[in-house]
């Protein structure tokens, strides 16, 4: 299979990428060879999707042919654009890898993510250099390194530390202590490329901290913001250090230009034009979540398990750099030339799409007591969504408004418009509740619920609406499109305008017969029913009201039907399924897999520990149960043995008594009738001394039998 790799007729058509990001590979596969030499549409043009969607077996005219990679990946991540993909494991033989290197025109090694691959990259470039004469054509080796090899470089001008480093200063660069192996490999690659550059050219690209798609070193901050579990995103230390960075697509464009231009210099800086500090970057990323940052001691970074030592070193780098050669000599089509801060919205969208972090919006409807809240809670736990209930949301809003007003009043800022607005809204809500016996008008309810659904946590992870909206009008107002909403439908469409980022994707309508619902409520403990809407009068009123509202021409389900959102009806037929397993099975089948982060390593460890503790408790319980059972059986056996022994002794005693009682007459008979005659017979036997004493004694007893004499006397 691997021996039949077809190379295209254009120069540098076959590219071997090692340890590069998926997007990097995909980018080069869509690049036309030599495109950066002329001012043409690049891979970001309208034709990009067409190129990328072509079948893997179809060669794309004039583009790079990616023939291999050593990046480890699962079956689900197979790249359709790689012509001959394979994974090189630790057990792979060097000669097998070298065979594929010799078949490729361009070999690209990325050591910014996996420092342990430095030795392999060193071996690869050295092995190729030794076989220059055996090359079938010119080869190019590109090393993607890191600006951390510049981390301790002295300023170009000590009197003016703001002068940036450029490629011309690379000989005086000084690496971070943990990146000395990187700089050693850089020097080796540059050195080997000077021997015979026409046959074997080598280049080093010192990449800034990479962002875009999965975000690499910045992943911790994106994840923290997206999850929204902390009120502020941490900035470790002062955050005043300048971070040289580059979007992964721009880095791929730099590599494309190097392949096309074959420049004379061998060392390049790949950084964007930004001079963003760590605080600037964190603040921009925080808008993805809570929107606020908090400076914490620098040492706290070591308490974060999601950051490796390499990540930590990179986050504290402080370098002003400028890629002068790239801008003056290459034809770069920048994606984020001005950096991550000015392109934060684009970068965050890429991040969510790359990691599949899409919100799941669900609405659960149904009559009272059908189990909406229980099902909604189970859905939230399974998909890590936010449970939105009307009563709790109103209470939360009032609490937050009161806390905000108190906090702002303590600051005593009379010109704060937001404070005045919050005070006015809070007073309006309280006044409306007083007038309606604790209830709110629909207009206030809609505003509160809409604000909740528009909050960052609900927009990031998603939500489960529990039993709301209740009417067609509420649904129409709640999900209505804003005036400037880009999610509004075309006016020619029959679908009513709605807010695409608020409308639920999945609607589940739970239902049950009135008899079952009444039975369920009647079986509830009195302590649960007391003070709730499940009292007999309130529940029946709510049930009747629900049935009336859902028999009208315009219902909530009709609204979702108009928007062509399929409603799945789930019938509850009995109370046997207390855990709603059948309902959840249908929900999970309909919604699919979660679209957010799985559990963290710490959560996995905690869950494994919890499961282990449960298993140990169950094992201990079973062991104790077995021991208790064995003890009971032993006690029962002992008791039965004692009872049997007692009965045996009693039976023996009774038998002895019976035998004793039965032997008394016999003894009397023997003593009275037999023993005297027997005694006399023995005396006669001793006196006569017969030859056969036994026969003599028997005959004597026969002749002198008292009973026989008595019987004879009686007969006479």
For residues 133 and 230, state if they share a domain.
yes
Residue 274 lies inside a defined structural domain of this protein: yes
- Taking the C-alpha atoms of residue 304 and residue 306, their distance in angstroms, rounded to an integer, is 6
Q: Which of 556, 571, 591 is the last residue of a domain?
A: 591
For residues 345 and 373, state if they share a domain.
no
Which CATH number goes with the domain that contains 675?
1.20.890.10
For residues 375 and 329, state if they share a domain.
no
For residues 461 and 537, state if they share a domain.
yes
Query: Residues 210-223: what's their mean pLDDT?
Result: 85
pLDDT digits (tens, 9 = 90+) for 464-511: 999 999 999 999 999 988 765 554 444 545 677 888 889 999 999 999
Is the predicted pLDDT of residue 175 greater than 90, yes or no? yes
For residues 331 and 366, state if they share a domain.
no
Q: How confident is the model at residue 368, as a pLDDT?
A: 92
Q: How confident is the model at residue 411, as a pLDDT?
A: 62
The edge-to-edge listing of strands for the beta sheet with 14-18 is 65-69, 14-18, 106-110, 139-146, 200-207, 267-270
Residue 637 lies inside a defined structural domain of this protein: no
29-38, 116-125, 182-191: which has the minimum mean pLDDT? 29-38
Is the predicted pLDDT of residue 316 greater than 50, yes or no? yes
Query: Residues 123-127: what's their mean pLDDT?
Result: 92
For residues 458 and 585, state if they share a domain.
yes
* Phi, psi for residue 153 in degrees, rounded to 5: -65, 140
Contact 556, 470 (CB under 8 A): yes
What's the distance, CA 671 to chain centroid?
Answer: 103
Q: Which of 591, 615, 637 is the last residue of a domain?
A: 591
- Taking the C-alpha atoms of residue 244 and residue 274, their distance in angstroms, rounded to an integer, is 7
Query: Residues 103-121: what's their mean pLDDT?
Result: 84
Query: Residues 178-182: what's their mean pLDDT?
Result: 94
592: left (phi over 0), alpha (psi -120 to 50) or beta: left
pLDDT digits (tens, 9 = 90+) for 335-376: 999 999 999 989 988 888 888 888 999 999 999 999 999 999
Q: How confident is the model at residue 27, as a pLDDT?
A: 58
Q: How many CB atoms lie within 10 A of CB 655?
A: 10
* Phi, psi for residue 532 in degrees, rounded to 5: -115, 180
Q: Which of 354, 381, 405 is the last residue of a domain?
A: 354
Q: How confident is the model at residue 20, as a pLDDT?
A: 45
Interaxial angle between packed helices 22-29 and 248-261, expressed in degrees from 0 to 180 and rounded to the nearest 10: 40
For residues 341 and 384, state if they share a domain.
no
Query: Residues 384-391: what's their mean pLDDT?
Result: 93
pTM higher than 0.95: no
For residues 191 and 220, state if they share a domain.
yes
For residues 402 and 302, state if they share a domain.
no
Count: domains in the chain: 3
* Phi, psi for residue 109 in degrees, rounded to 5: -115, 130
Please report which confidence band the pLDDT of residue 56 belongs to, taking 50, 70 and 90 as the band edges. Answer: very low
Residue 623 lies inside a defined structural domain of this protein: no
Q: Give the closest residue to 248 by CA, choosing from 335, 151, 345.
A: 335
Residue 3 lies inside a defined structural domain of this protein: no
Residue 601 lies inside a defined structural domain of this protein: no
Q: Which domain holds residue 702?
A: 662-716
Residue 638 lies inside a defined structural domain of this protein: no
For residues 366 and 342, state if they share a domain.
no
For residues 298 and 209, state if they share a domain.
yes
Q: Greatest CA span in the chain, whole angstroms?
A: 165
For residues 164 and 45, state if they share a domain.
yes
Interaxial angle between packed helices 118-130 and 94-103, expressed in degrees from 0 to 180 and rounded to the nearest 10: 60
DSSP 418-466: HHHHHHHHHHHHHHHHHHTTT---HHHHHHHHHHHHHSHHHHHTEEEEE
Torsion of CA 455, 456, 461, 465, to 10 degrees: 0
Which CATH number goes with the domain that contains 195?
3.40.50.720
What's the distance, CA 520 to chain centroid?
Answer: 36
Query: Residues 193-204: what's their mean pLDDT?
Result: 94
Helix (H) / strand (E) containing 364: strand 360-365
Mean pLDDT for the chain overall = 82
Residue 599 lies inside a defined structural domain of this protein: no
Residue 314 lies inside a defined structural domain of this protein: yes
Contact 369, 517 (CB under 8 A): yes
Which CATH number goes with the domain that contains 463?
3.40.50.300
Is the predicted pLDDT of residue 292 greater than 60, yes or no? yes
């Amino acid at each position: 299979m691997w021996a039949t790799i077809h190379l295209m007729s254009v120069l540098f058509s076959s590219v071997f990428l090692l340890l590069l990001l998926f997007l990097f590979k995909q980018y080069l596969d869509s690049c036309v060879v030599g495109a950066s030499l002329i001012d043409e549409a690049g891979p970001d043009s309208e034709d990009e999707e067409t190129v990328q969607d072509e079948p893997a077996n179809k060669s794309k005219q004039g583009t790079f042919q990616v023939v291999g990679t050593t990046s480890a990946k699962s079956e689900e991540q197979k790249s359709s654009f790689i012509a001959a993909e394979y994974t090189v494991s630790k057990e792979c033989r060097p000669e097998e890898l070298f065979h594929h290197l010799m078949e490729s025109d361009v070999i690209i090694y990325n050591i910014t993510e996996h420092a342990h691959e430095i030795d392999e990259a060193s071996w690869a470039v050295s092995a190729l250099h030794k076989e220059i004469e055996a090359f079938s054509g010119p080869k190019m080796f590109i090393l993607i390194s890191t600006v951390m090899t510049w981390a301790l470089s002295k300023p170009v001008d000590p009197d003016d530390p703001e002068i940036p480093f450029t490629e011309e200063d690379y000989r005086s660069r000084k690496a971070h202590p943990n990146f000395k192996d990187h700089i050693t490999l850089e020097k080796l690659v540059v050195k080997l490329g000077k021997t015979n550059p026409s046959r074997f050219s080598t280049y080093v690209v010192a990449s800034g901290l990479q962002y875009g798609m999965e975000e690499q070193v910045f992943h911790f901050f994106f994840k923290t913001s997206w999850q929204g579990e902390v009120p502020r995103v941490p900035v470790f230390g002062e955050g005043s250090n300048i971070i040289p960075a580059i979007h992964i697509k721009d880095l791929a464009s730099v590599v494309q230009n190097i392949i096309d231009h074959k420049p004379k210099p061998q060392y390049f800086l790949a950084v964007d034009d930004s001079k963003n500090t760590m605080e600037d970057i964190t603040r921009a990323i925080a808008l993805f979540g809570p929107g606020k940052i908090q400076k914490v001691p620098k040492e706290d970074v070591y308490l974060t398990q999601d950051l490796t030592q390499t990540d930590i070193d990179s986050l504290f780098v402080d370098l002003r750099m400028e890629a002068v050669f790239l801008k003056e000599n290459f034809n770069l089509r920048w994606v984020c030339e001005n950096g991550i801060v000015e392109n934060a919205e684009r970068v965050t969208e890429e991040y969510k799409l790359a990691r599949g972090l899409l919100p799941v919006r669900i609405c659960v409807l149904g009559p009272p007591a059908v189990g909406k809240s229980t099902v909604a809670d189970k859905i939230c736990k399974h998909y890590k969504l936010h449970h939105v209930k009307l009563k709790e949301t109103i209470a939360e809003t009032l609490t937050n408004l009161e806390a905000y007003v108190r906090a702002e009043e303590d600051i005593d800022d009379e010109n704060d418009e937001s404070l005045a607005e919050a005070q006015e809204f809070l007073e309006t809500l309280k006044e409306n509740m007083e007038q309606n016996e604790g209830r709110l008008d629909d207009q206030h309810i809609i505003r509160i619920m809409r604000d909740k659904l528009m909050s960052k946590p609900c927009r990031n992870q998603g939500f489960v609406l529990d039993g709301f909206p209740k009417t067609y009008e509420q649904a129409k107002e709640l999900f209505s499109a804003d005036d400037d909403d880009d999610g509004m439908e075309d006016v020619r469409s029959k679908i009513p305008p709605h807010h695409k980022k608020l409308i639920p994707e999945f609607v589940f309508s739970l239902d049950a017969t009135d008899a079952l619902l009444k039975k369920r409520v009647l079986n509830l403990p009195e302590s649960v029913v007391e003070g709730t809407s499940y009292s007999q009068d309130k529940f029946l009123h709510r049930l009747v009201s629900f049935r009336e509202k859902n028999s009208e021409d315009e219902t909530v389900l009709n609204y979702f039907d108009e928007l062509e959102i399929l409603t799945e009806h789930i019938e509850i037929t009995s109370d046997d399924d207390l855990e709603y397993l059948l309902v959840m099975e249908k929900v999970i089948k309909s919604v699919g897999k979660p679209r957010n982060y799985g559990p963290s390593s710490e959560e996995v460890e905690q869950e494994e520990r919890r499961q282990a503790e449960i298993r140990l408790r169950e094992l201990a319980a079973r062991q104790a149960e077995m021991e208790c059972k064995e003890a009971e059986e032993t006690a029962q056996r002992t008791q039965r043995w004692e009872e049997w022994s007692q009965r045996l002794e009693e039976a023996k005693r009774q038998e002895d008594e019976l035998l004793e009682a039965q032997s008394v007459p016999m003894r009397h008979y023997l003593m009275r009738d037999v023993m005297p005659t027997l005694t006399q017979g023995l005396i006669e036997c001793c006196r006569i001394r017969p030859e056969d004493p036994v026969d003599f004694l028997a005959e004597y007893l026969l002749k002198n039998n008292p009973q026989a004499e008595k019987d004879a006397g009686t007969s006479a």
